[in-house]
Amino acid sequence: MMDRVLSSVQIAALLVSASYGIGFLFGSGELALTHGMAGSIYGIATGFGMLALALVAKPLWKSGLSVWDLFGRAYGTQLRGLVAALSLVWMAGVLAAQIHGGVAVAGLLGVPDPYGLIIVLGLIYAAAQMSLRIASGVFAGCLLLSGLVLVYALVAADGLALYLEAVPRFVEDLDTFSPTQMGTVSLAVCLLVITGADYHQFVMSGRTARNAVVGCAMAGLALILIGFLPAAVVMAMQSGSVLADMPDGKQVIPWALSHAVGGLARGLGAGMLVALSLAALGSGAAILRAMASAMSTTLSGKNRSRLSSAAALIIGAALASRDQGIVETMVSVNIIYLASIGVCFVALLTDISLTPQRARATMVAGLVVSGCVYAASWLGLLAPQADALSLGAGLAASIGVAVGFGLVARHQRGDVTKTCR
C-alpha cells in the first residue's frame, strides 16, 4: 500500500521538480530564439497540463493505482504490460533531450562533435550504473542552482519588465507557430502530464484527495510562472545584442547562464557549465535506469541490466541524432505513446466499458499507425512537421477500431438474440 503522507505543498514541489529539467529549460530557450515569448509553449502547456491533472486527481487518488495498473485492473495483465512497455517510448524522448543538453554544454566547454556526443553517452551510461542515492541530490541541486541563476540573469539583462509583460507577449507571439504546430505541441504536452505515471505517483501519495487536487493546482500555477523565465532571459539578451553570434539554439540557455555569472568571479562561468552538465547527466542517468529496468524484464542472463542500459542508450542516441529541436524531439515520440493509450485512457475516465480484446486492438492500432507515420517522417517520406498527422492518424485508427469492435459485438449479440427466438 502506498504511503499517503504528502501535503499539498510537498506534492506541488515534487511535481514541479519532476517537470523542470533540461528539456524544459534548454528547449524553451531554443524556441525563444525564433518564437519570442511563445518559446515558453512547452512550459506553459506543462502548467496547464497540471491544472487539468487537478481535475482528475481525486479519482486517481481514490484508485491508488498508476496508469498501467489502472489498465491492468480494467483490461487484464497483458494490457498492463503493454502500457508499461509503451512508457519506454516517451522516456526515450526525454532521454534524447538530456543527451541534446549534455552535448550542447560540451560544445560550450570546447569539446567538438562527435566527441561531445561520445563523452556524454559514456558518462550517462556510467552514472546509470552508480548508486544515485547521494548523487541524485547533487543533480537536483544543480538544477535548482540553474533556476536561481536564471532569475539573476533576467535581472542582470534588465528583463524584469519584459517578464512582467510575459502573458500578452506570449499571446502576441503565438502567431509565429502555425495553428497545427501550436495545437499539436500544446495537446501532446498536456495529455502526457495527465497520463504520466511519474506524476501520478505524487498525486496518489497525498494525505487526502483534497491535498492531491490542491497540490496539482499549485504546481500548475508555479510552472506557468517559471515557464516564462527562459524565454524572457533570451529575449532580454537579444534586445541587448548579446546573442548575435549564437550558432546553436540548444546552447543559448547554458551560454546565457554562464555569461551571467562569469563576470562575478573568475571561473564561475565554467563552473556553471559543469553544474549544468551534471544536471543533464543526472537526469539522463535517472531516465536510463528507468528504461533499463523496464526492458530487463524481457531479457534473461547475468548481464541483462547492462545490456538493457546499453540498448536504451542507443535508442536515446538515435533519437538525439535527428535534426530536431529539443522540444520537438520530446513531443514527436510522446505522440506515439499518447496515440496508443489515449482512447482507452479516456474510456477509463468516462466509465466506457471496453473488453480486454477490444482495448488491446484499440491500443495496437494507434501504436502501429502513429509509429508508421513517425518512421515515414524520419525517413524523409513525409514533411518534417508530421507530428499532427502522427497524433491525428493514430487517434483516428484507435477510435475506428474501438467503434468497429463495438459494432461487430452489437451485430453478434443481435444474431444470438434472433437465434434464441
Question: What pLDDT, on a 0 to 100 scale, did the predictor assign at position 41?
Answer: 96
Cis bond leading into 114, ω under 30°?
Answer: yes
Which residues contact residue 332 at a Cβ distance below 8 angstroms, ignoring those fewer than 6 apart?
A: 93, 324, 374, 377, 387, 390
- What residue segments make up the domains of the chain, in order of their start? 8-325
pTM of the predicted structure, to 2 decimals = 0.86
Question: What pLDDT, on a 0 to 100 scale, did the predictor assign at position 383?
Answer: 72
Question: What pLDDT, on a 0 to 100 scale, did the predictor assign at position 416?
Answer: 47
Which residues contact residue 210 at a Cβ distance below 8 angstroms, ignoring those fewer than 6 apart?
A: 8
The rounded distance, in Å, linking the Cα atoms of 103 and 310 is 18
Per-10-residue mean pLDDT of the chain, 421 residues long, equals: 82 86 90 95 96 92 82 85 82 89 89 89 83 64 84 92 95 93 91 84 91 96 94 90 76 89 82 84 79 68 74 90 88 90 87 88 94 88 80 93 79 52 54
Locate 94 and state its grid cell. Answer: 526525454
Q: Within 10 Å of residue 133's Cβ, how many Cβ atoms?
A: 7
Q: What is the CATH number of domain 8-325?
A: 1.20.1730.10
Question: What pLDDT, on a 0 to 100 scale, did the predictor assign at position 291?
Answer: 81
At 147, the amino acid letter reads: G
> 343, 366 in Cβ contact below 8 A?
yes
- Which neighbouring-strand residues pair with 6? 206
Question: What pLDDT, on a 0 to 100 scale, did the predictor assign at position 154?
Answer: 93
Q: Which own/partner contact pairs does 375-378 have at CB distance under 8 Å and 24+ positions apart?
A: 377/332, 378/322
The rounded distance, in Å, linking the Cα atoms of 350 and 167 is 33
